[in-house]
Amino acid sequence: MVKEQLRARGIQDLGVLEAFNKVERHKFVLPELKDSAYGDFPLSIGEGQTISQPYIVALMTECLQISPSHTVLEIGTGSGYQAAILAERALHVYSIERHEVLASKAEALLKELGYGNISITAGDGTLGWQEYAPFDRIIVTAAAPRVPLPLLEQLRNGGKLVMPLGGSFGQILTLAEKERDKITYRKICDCVFVPLVGKYGTKVNN
């Protein structure tokens, strides 16, 4: 996976590659999908949600240029895989998941794997997590037409946020950078994510 899907496609950050070598992806997928855990595609994790393709997880992590002093906010814990990759690079990861079942499953797994630097809560991540703000880095692993305002507010100056922006059928992975309270946006690539459902997210009823 690391050699053929990540390095061959241009992921160069040694810290990111090291994290992928360390975190065992098969532990984060449904038991019946274990044989496909390292495949070049997203996989179902239950509740109608998916764990992203390894390359996209790596690309988003690389874009954030995380250093060991950083606190990171993740919206969309899902299986907890992306949170584990982030936790290998950062000081602390705060992660919010709207499906309570997924949140508690990920929390139990990450605890079992020994991660002491990940905090998970169930709720609407489009509101951010004010208690621990501001964050050095923010990653949103679900799609909406624009970045939720509370997340831009909870991003530290000098901080970076990565998120898929667009409608339900396709989005553009976008890197937002905040300097002196001004946000600039950079397009990374086309992508397809599940919708970010919440007050400042995509308006759908599910």
Answer for the pair 55, 5: CB distance below 8 angstroms, yes or no. Answer: yes
The residue from 5, 71, 126, 154 that contacts ligand SAH (CB under 6 A) is 126
- The answer to whether 97 contacts ligand SAH (rule: CB under 6 A) is yes
The one catalytic residue in 36, 44, 52, 79 is 52
Among 11-19, 74-82, 150-158, 176-184, the segment contacting ligand SAH (CB under 6 A): 74-82
* Torsion angles phi and psi, residue 185, rounded to 5: -115, 140
Rg (Cα) of the chain, in Å, rounded? Answer: 15
Q: What tokens appear for 14 in the block?
A: 């040694």
Which residue number, 50 or 71, has a Cβ lying nearer to ligand SAH?
50
Q: Is 145 helix (H, G, I), strand (E, B) or coil?
A: coil
Q: Is 36 a catalytic residue?
A: no
Which residue number, 179 or 189, has a Cβ lying nearer to ligand SAH?
189
The residue from 64, 96, 151, 162 that contacts ligand SAH (CB under 6 A) is 96
The residue from 61, 79, 154, 171 that contacts ligand SAH (CB under 6 A) is 79
Of 97, 148, 12, 74, residue with least CA distance to 108: 97
The residue from 11, 19, 49, 73 that contacts ligand SAH (CB under 6 A) is 49
Q: Is 143 helix (H, G, I), strand (E, B) or coil?
A: strand
Which residue number, 78 or 159, has a Cβ lying nearer to ligand SAH?
78
Q: What tokens appear for 102 in the block?
A: 């997924």
- The answer to whether 43 contacts ligand SAH (rule: CB under 6 A) is no
The alpha helices in the chain, defined as continuous H runs, are: 14-22, 54-64, 81-89, 100-112, 149-153
- The answer to whether 150 contacts ligand SAH (rule: CB under 6 A) is no
Single-letter amino acid, residue 82: Q
Residue 124 gets the label, from left (phi > 0), alpha (psi -120 to 50) or beta, of beta
Single-letter amino acid, residue 98: R
Number of residues that bind ligand SAH (CB under 6 A): 26
Q: What amino acid positions are annotated as catalytic residues?
A: 52
Sites of contact with ligand SAH (CB under 6 A) = 45, 49-52, 75-76, 78-79, 81-82, 96-99, 102, 124-126, 141-142, 194, 196-198, 201
